[in-house]
Amino acid sequence: MIGSIRVTRMRRILAVTLGMMAAATVAAAGPIEVRFVTIAPEGTPWSEQMTAMKNRVEKESGGRLVFKLYLGGQLGGEVETLRSLQRGRVQAWGGSVGALASLIPELQLLELPYLFRTLDEADYVLDEVLFTPYADLMSKHGFTLQSWNENGWRSIGSKDKPVLTPADAKGLKARSQPSPIHLRMWKALGANPVPISVPEVLTSLQTGVVDAFDNSPLFTTATSWHTAIKYYVLTQHMYQPGAVIYNKAFLDKLPEDLRKILLGDAKAEAVAGRAGVRALEPEVIKLMETEGVKVYPLSDAQKQAFANVLEPLHAEFAKTVGPDLLAKTKAALAKYRAEHSATAPVVAKPAAAKPVPVKPATPAK
């Protein structure tokens, strides 16, 4: 018995000693650089959140961790930099779930068209239902999920005519995020999708390589894509989360105290990031209108017309995203809706939006 106690005590002492030695080694080696990449442009809520994260980490670590931010796609597009993260060339990454799904197909569940009706239910599912399953899944691919972020409701911008009905999308050359669910969505609408990396989209719009795209109002204005279109229709057909992730091998090698600092409070950071994005949406919609883009809000009935075409993709992608996880998500949504609202709209409307009547769209002259 006494021998067992002594062995246990010695193991504890050894563990503490090794931890202190690791910390001393890190300190002796100087600050550890964390290269953080994102396509988020400077001056956006995303870049502000990353800067706040940098400041917090450097302060809490006492300078043992140093963040180096690469904003605006300085090191490449989302998928390109994601592969750099996977290979350990950078240590942290912030971007869309659509890009992550190129490596982890199951994440396409989150981008199934018209899966979510409101922001509140999207928050609930991401934070309370799917955080742990997706964190475990990312871990198998060499990533550690730090927190969710938000791109927001994706809607359709176009050059020659507004896409007020599914039929209006037929034949469009549409920029698509290079992810199967995005490509399939455009094909379901009868468009011709062209996968193009974010840094190349504006030029592609200006030169006629594509004549339409979908993205959130904030991202559309932050990248200046709105300067190359005349119409923006609030179809809100897809809620797109973002994520902040680390290279797992890098994180696992750090002392425990530094790992905890880098991971921080995942839920609090998600809440703060979403708040910044959502607060700006009405303002950036006004900005688009001020700069000559005609913005069309849609009624629930008009959105339902798009949903009727796109919701069948849920069943089509069930095997890819995982039928059990899809069933779990839909059950959680059904329960949430029953508890919170029996008459939720197809998707949440922007502030002060008034639906417009659908008229046959004709090309602008």
Q: How far apart are alpha carbons 182 and 98 in whole angstroms? A: 8
CA-to-CA distance for 356 and 298, rounded, in angstroms? 6
24 falls within a domain: no
**Domains of the chain: total:** 1
Q: What is the pLDDT of residues 139-180, one digit of tens each?
A: 999 999 999 999 999 999 999 999 999 999 999 999 999 999
- pLDDT-derived band of residue 17, with 50, 70 and 90 as boundaries? very low
Q: Is 26 within a domain? A: no
Could you tell me the CATH number of the domain that includes residue 212? 3.40.190.170
pLDDT at site 324: 97
358 domain residue, yes or no: no
Q: What's the pLDDT score for residue 24?
A: 45
- Which of 224, 194, 198 has its CA nearest to residue 208? 194
Over residues 127-145, the mean pLDDT reads: 97
| Predicted local distance difference test score (pLDDT) of residue 5 | 46
Domain assignment present for 349: no
- For residue 282, give its domain range: 31-340
Instruction: Identify whether the C-beta of residue 232 lies closer than 8 Å to the C-beta of residue 293.
Output: yes
Main-chain dihedrals φ then ψ at residue 292, nearest 5 degrees = 95, 5
Query: b/e map of 251-271 (b: 16 or more CB within 10 Å)?
Result: beebbeebeebbbbebeebbe
Angstrom distances, CA of residue 81 to CA of 95, 257, 262: 10, 27, 20
**14 in a domain, yes or no?**
no
150: three-class secondary structure by DSSP: strand
Higher-scoring residue by pLDDT: 42, 296: 296
Instruction: Indicate the pLDDT class of residue 1, thresholds 50, 70 and 90.
Output: very low
pLDDT at 352 over 60: no
pLDDT by residue (tens digit) across 39-72? Answer: 988 888 889 999 999 999 999 999 999 999 999 9
Whether residue 134 is contained in a domain is answered as yes
Residue 139 lies in a domain: yes
More confident site: 226 or 73 = 226
Position 181 pLDDT exceeds 70: yes
Assess if residue 200 is contained within a domain: yes
pLDDT at residue 6 is higher than 90: no
Whether the per-residue pLDDT at 19 is higher than 70: the answer is no
Q: What is the pLDDT at residue 70?
A: 95
Closest Cα partner for 281 from 109, 119, 107?
119
User: pLDDT class for 29, splitting at 50, 70, 90?
Assistant: low
pLDDT reported for residue 52? 93
Question: Considering the chain, what is the average pLDDT of its residues?
Answer: 88
